[in-house]
A and B are shown apart, each in its own frame.
Chain A
Amino acid sequence: MGMRLRAGFALAVAIGALNSAVAETGLDAEALQREVLAGSCANCHGTEGRMEGVVPSLAGRSADQLEARLLAFKHEEDSGATIMNRIAKGYTDEELATLADYFSHLPAKEELTP
């Protein structure tokens, strides 16, 4: 399955017809759900959590570290927290783990196709 998808994906890109790939496969509901769960994170951390500045970037960081930090925020164990302690309390431990996993799988730097 993995190989077939990979080959199919490369081909779709090569012929510049990702639209038909999407139309054929439908939406990946699970991936879309994760995007929605993570949607509000981008408002301070940038699209896909990738923005350098006073608010730290999230993309490509270790899932374990992200999850530990989110749990520390949630349980008021991070004395440096200003707002993430208030936000993390709005999510279950499982949702925080999903968010950590989501951001860890995104590239830290944008990979733009020339």
Chain B
Amino acid sequence: MSQPWNRLSRRQLLKGLGGASAFPLMGALPSFAIGGQHAGHVVVVGGGFGGATAAKYLKRANPAIKVTLVEPADVFYTCPFSNLFLGGLRDMRSIAHNYDELRQRYGVDVVHALAEDINAEAHEVRLSTGDTLHYDRLVLSPGVDMRWDALEGYDEAAAEKAPHAWKAGHQTTLLKQQLEAMEDGGTFIMVAPGNPYRCPPGPYERAGMVAHYFKEHKPNSKVLILDAKDNFSKQGLFTAGWERLYGDRIEWVGLSNDGRVTRVDADNLEVETEFGTRHRADVLNVIPPQKAGWIADRAGVTDSSGWVPVKPETFESQQVDDIYVVGDATVAAPMPKSGFCANAQAKVVAAAIASSLEHQPAPTAYWANTCYSLVGPNYGISVAGVYRVTDGVIAEVDGAGGISPADAPDTVRALEADYAVGWYNAICQDTWGTQV
């Protein structure tokens, strides 16, 4: 070991000892369960933006914490940039991530199993393998589940004919195959949900990406969005961008104009709205209402809304001690249900848990969010927000954040499209260690 330790500043040493910044100095370290001693066992359920980040940052905060990540999939496909796959800008491999860095570099025990039940009283997670994990603290990052009972005619079987593609993977490739099989001159109908749901600007980015694919390959085809709400994220920017790039190829019908779909006939690719208007699609994409991933119900952390109320400073469940919840499953408004927020929340949770295991108070929470959306390949728009706890609730910092300027020139839209890719690469490196 010939490291020039004497070149390190005292601050770096302190950080190294505190674990906060140990890894850039230490590099690849083995698991710290040496001698059987650890600073507590944290089980993380869910390996998406929230869960994978929580696991990594727990180890960064204190390598002596034993961290077990429970995630059924070997490969995780992100919802962010899955719209770019639909638009023909990316392949699925480019949105696939694995758990090698968590295992090899951070010493996280990654278990590919489904968490089937949680006994909060006993602090136990039961796995599909039959094993039971005991935890000192539990992090749930369960994402969303579709509400299969919320929209008449739309259940799991219907989703094989009219995909939601709101969880990336099989559903995404199914929708892509349908778009490719569609004849030119067809209509793509997207049913967009009311608030709250995963990724507020997502449906509208998808509309643009599908329109881009049509423009290139099926120029006589159209996009129709039937929406259960009257306003949506970055609406003015999207609408202006659609007109600029796609003319009248995209039509949006909001709630007030009878846009809310109340019945789906997946066999005939037909939907019916609140006031009885029927629309027939050639490709039908139904994004149904959502709720917290079902394991959150099993843990007893959801309320009657189907989502998870959390303590703002730490994201510990308001209902069950020692269970922390991050990401789309939580009630964290005004923070949106975004991958960025899940990642940001997970870092706060990791610090809060590392502190609590040492009987120290949690650090003050800071979060930010940036959501880039592509309207076209070289046309990006964004919304940002900065958040902290004010008077006991999560609040947006006044005067900060907001959307891209309405009057920005094409050069700025192109720059934001580049930054969207930069953001994706960075957050995936930060979450899973994926190198571009």
Contacts and interface: CB of A to CB of B under 8 A. Distances in A.
Q: How large is the interface on A (under 10, 10 to 19, 20 to 34, 35 or more residues)?
A: 35 or more
A19 B430 contact: no
Interface stretch (B21-29, B114-122, B293-301): B21-29
Contacts of B181: none
Contact of B360 (A8, A27, A90): A27
Nearest to A88: B400
A10 B39 contact: no
B384 A32 contact: no
Given A19-B34, A35-B351, A86-B401, A105 B419 contact: no
B386 A28 contact: no
A14 to B, nearest CB: 6
B363 A29 contact: yes
Contact of A53 (B62, B365, B415, B436): B436
A48 B426 CA distance: 11
Contacts of A10: 5
Contacts of B425: 51, 53
Given A18-B64, A35-B61, A46-B429, A53 B384 contact: no
Interface in B1-57: 1, 3, 5-6, 8-22, 24-30, 32, 34-35, 37-39, 57
A11 to B, nearest CB: 10
A31 B6 contact: no
Interface in A68-85: 82-83
A88 to B, nearest CB: 8
Contacts of A16: 30, 34
A85 B404 CA distance: 11
Contacts of B393: none
* Residue among B1, B5, B13, B18 with the highest chain A CB neighbour number at 10 A: B18
B64 A22 contact: yes
A111 B400 CA distance: 35
Nearest to A102: B21
Interface string A20-50: 1111011111011111110110111111101
A29 B5 CA distance: 23
A43 to B, nearest CB: 5
A39 B347 contact: yes
B248 interface: no
A37 B39 CA distance: 24
Contacts of B343: 43
Nearest to A105: B11
B397 interface: yes
A36 B21 contact: no
Interface in B53-95: 57, 60-64
User: Secondary structure of the A side of the interface?
Assistant: helix
A111 B382 CA distance: 34
Given A40-B368, A54-B422, A83-B384, A35 B20 contact: yes
A24 B12 CA distance: 18
B367 A27 contact: no
Contact of B419 (A19, A22, A55, A89): A55
B426 A36 contact: no
A43 B423 contact: yes
B32 A13 contact: no
B15 A113 contact: no
A106 interface: yes
B365 A36 contact: yes
Nearest to B17: A25
Contact of B400 (A22, A45, A48, A89): A89
Nearest to B1: A14
B139 interface: no
A71 B38 CA distance: 42
B394 interface: no
Given A19-B38, A32-B354, A55 B426 contact: yes
Interface string B152-196: 000000000000000000000000000000000000000000000
Contacts of B416: 82-83
Contacts of B25: 107, 111, 113
B21 A35 contact: yes
Given A32-B354, A39-B57, 9 more contacts: A9-B5, A18-B22, A27-B61, A29-B360, A32-B61, A32-B355, A40-B369, A47-B429, A89-B401
27 contacts: A2-B10, A2-B13, A6-B5, A9-B17, A16-B30, A19-B37, A20-B64, A22-B64, A27-B360, A28-B15, A31-B15, A32-B351, A32-B355, A39-B366, A40-B369, A44-B370, A47-B429, A47-B430, A53-B425, A82-B416, A83-B419, A86-B401, A89-B399, A89-B401, A90-B399, A112-B28, A113-B28
Interface of A: 2, 5-6, 8-10, 12-14, 16-23, 25-29, 31-37, 39-40, 42-48, 50-51, 53-55, 59, 82-83, 86-91, 105-107, 110-114
The 7 closest A-B pairs by CB, nearest first: A90-B386, A28-B18, A90-B400, A19-B64, A112-B27, A40-B368, A31-B20
